[in-house]
Structure 1
Amino acid sequence: MRRLTVLGTCGAWPEAGRSASGFLLEYDGFRLVLDLGYATLPRLLEHRPGGDVDAVVITHEHPDHCADLSALCRVRHFAPERGPRIPLYCTPGVIARVQAMEPTEDLHDVFDPHTIPAVHRIGPFRLDAEPLPHHVPHAGVRLTAPGLTLAYSGDAGPSPALARLAAGADLFVAGATLQGDPEDGGDPHLMSAADAGAWAARAGAARLLLTHFWPGSDRARSTADARTTFSGEILPAEEGMVLPL
Structure 2
Amino acid sequence: MRLTVFGGCGAWPAAGQACGGYLLERDGFRLLVDPGYAVLPRLLATIDAAAVDAVVVSHGHPDHCADLSPLLRARALSDEPPAPLPVYAPAGAVDAVLALDSIRSVAGAVELATLTDGDGVRVGPFDVATASLPHFVPNLGMRITDGSATLTYSGDAGPDPALVELARDADLLLVEATYPDAVPHEDAGLLCSAVEAAEQGVAAGARRIMLTHLWPGLQPAAFLAAAARTGARDVTVAAPGPAQPIGS
- Common fold, TM-score beyond 0.5? yes
Q: CA RMSD in A?
A: 1.9
Q: 2:244 corresponds to which residue?
A: 243
Q: 1:67 corresponds to which residue?
A: 66
**C-alpha distance in structure 1 between counterparts of 2:2 and 2:232, whole Å:** 23
> Contact 2:167–2:206 (CA<8 Å) still a contact in 1?
yes
AA aligned opposite 2:55? V
**C-alpha distance in structure 1 between counterparts of 2:13 and 2:180, whole Å:** 18
Return 5+ residue gaps in structure 2 as ranges.
none
Paired residues in the alignment total 244
1:99–1:26 distance in 2 versus 1, CA, 3 Å: same
Return 5+ residue gaps in structure 1 as ranges.
none
With normalisation by structure 1, the TM-score equals 0.94
With normalisation by structure 2, the TM-score equals 0.92
1:192–1:51 distance in 2 versus 1, CA, 3 Å: farther
AA aligned opposite 1:53? V
1:74–1:205 distance in 2 versus 1, CA, 3 Å: same
CA-CA distance at 1:240 after TM superposition: 2.6
1:107–1:59 distance in 2 versus 1, CA, 3 Å: farther
Describe how 1:17-166 pairs up with structure 2 within 5 A: 17-105=16-104, 108-117=107-116, 118-166=119-167
SS of 2:66's equivalent in the other structure is helix
Q: 1:195 corresponds to which residue?
A: 196
**C-alpha distance in structure 1 between counterparts of 2:115 and 2:72, whole Å:** 20
CA-CA distance at 1:185 after TM superposition: 9.2
> Contact 2:84–2:110 (CA<8 Å) still a contact in 1?
yes
> Contact 1:166–1:200 (CA<8 Å) still a contact in 2?
yes
> Contact 1:142–1:151 (CA<8 Å) still a contact in 2?
yes
CA-CA distance at 1:50 after TM superposition: 3.3
**C-alpha distance in structure 1 between counterparts of 2:16 and 2:199, whole Å:** 30
Q: 1:222 corresponds to which residue?
A: 223
SS of 2:33's equivalent in the other structure is strand
After superposing on structure 2, the runs of 4+ consecutive aligned residues of structure 1 that deviate more than 6 Å are none
SS of 1:43's equivalent in the other structure is helix
SS of 1:215's equivalent in the other structure is coil
CA-CA distance at 1:97 after TM superposition: 1.2
Identity fraction in percent: 44
**C-alpha distance in structure 2 between counterparts of 1:96 and 1:185, whole Å:** 27
